[in-house]
Structure 1
Amino acid sequence: MNYESLLKELEKEGVEVIEYKFRSDSLKGLYFDNVITLNPANIIDDKEKACILAEEYGHYRTSFGNILDQQNTSNVKQEKRARNWAYEKLVPLEKLIDAFEACIHNRYDLADFLGVTEKFLDLTLSHYQEKFGTYAECRDYLIYFSPLGVLRQFKNDDYPSESHTGE
């Protein structure tokens, strides 16, 4: 899912997305009251823009109240929940399988294929490892998170039958 797709989805949900240069040099995005504000001065490219937008979308979906004070444990948990939502939104397990089937062989190409930054990809894989452990099963595949690997599982019906008679 890219930036434009996220914008369309947010529009359908009645969430406005605007760009505004914040006074803070470190703040890249903010969600408040059905408005997501992105700071274009601190965003490098469209991939990063999609990642920031997805996280703020995650706040729309999972957070409540003012959570800017990250000394508050409840706010930290809400921040983590929004980020986890964004990871799963932009990099669902099925997309990792699609990349494997498309013969993607390195992290740079994988991040490019998924339309996310390499940092976002690394954080996503850490999230999945925290959520599932060493690997997760999806469709007929095992997805290992560290090191990253995708393996196709063979089922009994994938093997040819042994119906020869030997005569």
Structure 2
Amino acid sequence: MVLKLIRSLAAVAILAVATPSSADEGSGFPQIVGTWHGTYLVAFAKSNPNHGKGLLKTEMELEVTKLDGNLITATNRWRRIGDKDWIVEEAMGTFSLDDPTRFVLAEAGISGEDVSAGIFNGVYLDDVIMVTYAGPGTGVAFAAQLVKKEGK
């Protein structure tokens, strides 16, 4: 019984030392905090009011504001090329536990006419974020390659 207690205390001590104290200290996940920018073509399903506009060239900024271990907090801003106002959507996500270069973000719109809710599947490779987006409620899909903005 004493041996079990000693083993348990030893295991707790090892875990306390081995566990990272923050997302920046050895979490094993890419440190992607910052603003990422890119352009893409977006298409809409026939049922979407934007379908008649055809393929639209769009720009986006994905601002990753916080990492907590595998958890990701982000804001997605996007607009059609030539538009002045941004559509703003908040997102929460997680890195994959079996492949720390892959992540998923779930977003919900907060401002603008064309806000939507959808899922980003992403991968971080060689200082580039590549995302594929699906908005099942609005019938919208796209893929984009994002690079980190200087100084952000």
* TM-score (structure 2 length as normaliser): 0.25
Which protein, 1 or 2, shows the higher relative CO under an 8 Å CA cutoff with sep ≥ 6? 2
* TM-score (structure 1 length as normaliser): 0.23
